[in-house]
A and B are shown apart, each in its own frame.
Chain A
Amino acid sequence: MSSDIYKVELINIFEGPMDLLIHLIRKNEVNIYEIPISQITDRYLEYIEWMKSMNVDIAGDFLVMAATLIQIKSRMLLPVHDDSDEKDPSLEITKPLLEYLYIKSAAGALSKREFLGEHTFIRPQVKTHSPGDPLHDHEIRVDLFELFLAFERILEKLPSDISIELSAEKTSVYDRMAEIISLLSEKKTLSFYELVCSYPVKSQIIISFLAILEIVKNNKAVLIQNTDTGIIRLFLNERDHA
């Protein structure tokens, strides 16, 4: 029973080998720039043994660190020649440790900030449209017939028989959908024409067209036509996206 309780705690305390090493360094009150490798390695191995006896599955990461420590320890036992420019082997562990400590303190600093939705709040987001956005009363949602007319016009404009397809380039409708959605997330709106004609090859135009239909069907975006200009534009459906 009691070992079960220990197990849970162990996993929570040490996220990984770095965490354990920092714990040992602090517990033994040693200077991080002068780690007594031998002492720390012993403590580390003792801990791993203890974890084993507690039936904790030891992740490979913990063993890699143990091997690194032992390797550094053995190199420190070798005599050092005065003229060699070899650095103190313990630095190999000091450097990543310092980096990890820095990240830990940065994470701590982040967690102390006013977290949106926890410490500070904003008004619930209701999407509004500013006058610059072409989403207004005088615009209507485009119907299917208009869409096909637009598609036909684009196909008519295609230079026929000029381009020769050499490779069977395979762009799936799904790839194109993902591409359009990421473009939309960035720009919020794109014209139907620029989307469909970005690759002026018949197969690509069809793929783009199908992708747009699929996106609109999945409510990821809406197609809107301006009654004055007749331009059809695709708008990201923010409510769905949020």
Chain B
Amino acid sequence: MKEIMPELKYIIETLLFVSYEPLTLEKMKSALQSFDLSAIKEAIHELKNEYDNLEKGIYLVEVAGGYQLRTRPEYADWIRKLIQPPIQRLGQAALETLAIIAYKQPVLRSDIEYIRGVDSSSIIRMLLARKLIKITGRKDIPGRPLVYGTTRVFLETFGLKDIKDLPVSRDISDLGKPVSPETSGVDEFVKE
């Protein structure tokens, strides 16, 4: 067998391969003490490009504050023939509730119900059980209601780097003001 000279990017590849959850730069650095951070970052970048250029079944994603090897969506059908998906897809009501919590956190149940116009307690319970959301505290107003926010599992599930990486990042509290249709995100519904 040919002798292989370890290369930083492939060392990182092996670390990612054996990692249990998204591997943070910090944790990577603790295993790669002889390398400096900029070299590590550069190697991650190279490795990412390599996966992209070769169009392999696996690719490197930046998710939930770390890096992870994931399978490409194009191959999902084959995988699902081999293994049962551990996670079930969310329905429309659950997605809406999750979107409110994600965009408006920290948020109260009453805020969620005000926007959706319907009782949302059972959906909140389901999202809590699936660890997509968590209780982040209590608000200091009468009744001390619970405050909700999203979790790392949420970021991992939707492949988000961090909470700022949410698909449409415009602050939704601005929506009361008249907005130009191009930026409203609701242009398809606005009929002149």
Contacts and interface: CB of A to CB of B under 8 A. Distances in A.
B116 A15 contact: yes
B115 interface: yes
Interface residues of A, number: 50
A15 B103 contact: no
A159 interface: no
Interface-central residue, B20, B71, B119, B166, by most chain A CB under 10 Å: B20
A115 B160 CA distance: 10
B86 to A, nearest CB: 5
A230 interface: no
A132 B30 contact: yes
A30 B158 contact: no
B168 A103 contact: no
Contacts of A18: 116-118
B159 interface: yes
Nearest to A91: B176
B44 interface: no
Nearest to A95: B176
Interface stretch (A122-130, A160-168, A218-226): A122-130
Nearest to A126: B20
A115 B87 contact: yes
A60 to B, nearest CB: 9
Contacts of B168: 102, 105-106, 109
A108 to B, nearest CB: 8
B186 A98 contact: yes
A200 interface: no
Given A117-B86, A120-B72, A99 B115 contact: yes
Contacts of A22: 189
A109 B95 CA distance: 10
Interface in B55-81: 61, 68-73, 76, 79
Contacts of B92: 15, 107
Contacts of A123: 17, 69
B65 to A, nearest CB: 15
A202 B185 CA distance: 60
Given A95-B175, A120-B73, A110 B158 contact: yes
B192 A107 contact: no
Contacts of A127: 20
A170 B21 CA distance: 39
Interface-central residue, A101, A108, A115, by most chain B CB under 10 Å: A115
Contacts of B90: 111
Contact of B96 (A25, A103, A115): A103
B189 A101 contact: yes
A148 to B, nearest CB: 34
23 contacts: A15-B92, A18-B118, A31-B192, A33-B178, A98-B175, A98-B186, A99-B172, A102-B168, A102-B185, A102-B186, A103-B99, A103-B100, A106-B168, A107-B96, A109-B168, A113-B160, A113-B167, A114-B73, A117-B157, A120-B72, A120-B76, A120-B159, A123-B69
